Amino acid sequence: ETGVTQSPTHLIKTRGQQVTLRCSSQSGHNTVSWYQQALGQGPQFIFQYYREEENGRGNFPPRFSGLQFPNYSSELNVNALELDDSALYLCASSDASGPNYGYTFGSGTRLTVV
């Protein structure tokens, strides 16, 4: 069984640019969540996708958007990058069909905005 794969692992962007991060969910998982982890902080929930629909959103502006594809992989898009967007972005997949679901996290994408 494959785990969660994120790409790229590291990325440097300039303020004002746009970025797309990608996530392949674990086999059999139908739900993908994205988290932002700033340096020295715990991960913060950005949003979740279930069966290609956004299914909950944290306190992030609309310039953070996402997609989920039929194979349950996902993208996180951030427009008009700001310096404070520099963080580790984590993708987590889960199977929300039962009471004992768990979350599997990828290794993350380290985004640096300069």
Partner 1 sequence: AQSVTQLGSHVSVSEGALVLLRCNYSSSVPPYLFWYVQYPNQGLQLLLKYTSAATLVKGINGFEAEFKKSETSFHLTKPSAHMSDAAEYFCAVSGGVYGGATNKLIFGTGTLLAVQP
* Residue 111: Cβ-neighbour burial (10 angstroms; 0-12, 13-18, 19+): buried
Interface residues with partner 1 (CB under 8 A) are 4, 6, 30-31, 33, 35, 40-45, 48, 50-51, 55-56, 58, 90, 92, 94, 96-108, 110
Cβ 80 to partner 1 shortest distance, Å: 25
Question: Which residue lies nearer to partner 1 by CB, 38 or 80?
Answer: 38
Cβ 92 to partner 1 shortest distance, Å: 8
Q: Which pair of structure tokens corresponds to residue 21?
A: 């991060």
Residues 56 and 54: their CA atoms lie apart, in Å, by 6
Cβ 32 to partner 1 shortest distance, Å: 11
